[in-house]
Amino acid sequence: MSESSWAARWLDLIESVPAFDDVALRRGADYAAFDWQLDVEIEAGRATTTASSGKRMRYLAVIVVPTMDDQQIADIVASIAAKTERMAAVLDGELPADLDHVLDIDPNLVVPSCSCQSVDVPCKHAAAVAHLVADAIEDNPFDLLHLRGL
């Protein structure tokens, strides 16, 4: 993952979320990397995964983020539509680098949760969601726009 990638920028944001500490993020990264059964579902304002521990233990892990308002969305659409080369880049699956404000999210408004009963809050399952989102964004930067409500 390149340092300037959208996925790296997402992880920078996640590292600033007060609910997460280094231990939780490290455990979540390991869990996301080594559990091949984890898939992330991204929708406006939330990303979820169903994690498991054994055959009967299944947990719903979620990260909630604020969506952009109508004006922010209109500004992004206008920015992309303003130049033909920007529109072409978007159609090729590239998100323009100058749309940094997509990640202008107050870290205090990023809320991880999980249905497991772990004493670690947030648990490795919730932290794994953050890393799964980074993986999804690395594959398709538009998942970030979808997460933010576009």
Going by pLDDT thresholds of 50, 70 and 90, the confidence category of residue 40 is very high
Tell me the pLDDT tens digit for each residue of 46-103: 999 988 766 778 889 999 999 999 999 998 888 888 888 887 877 777 777 777 788 8
Which pTM does this prediction carry?
A: 0.86
39 confidence band (pLDDT: 50, 70, 90): confident
What would the DSSP string read from start to end of the chain? --TTSHHHHHHHHHHT-TT--HHHHHHHHHHHHH-TT---EEETTEEEEEEESSSS-EEEEEEE-PPPPHHHHHHHHHHHHT-HHHHHHHHTT---TT-GGGG---GGG-EEEESS--SSSS-HHHHHHHHHHHHHHHH-THHHHHHTT-
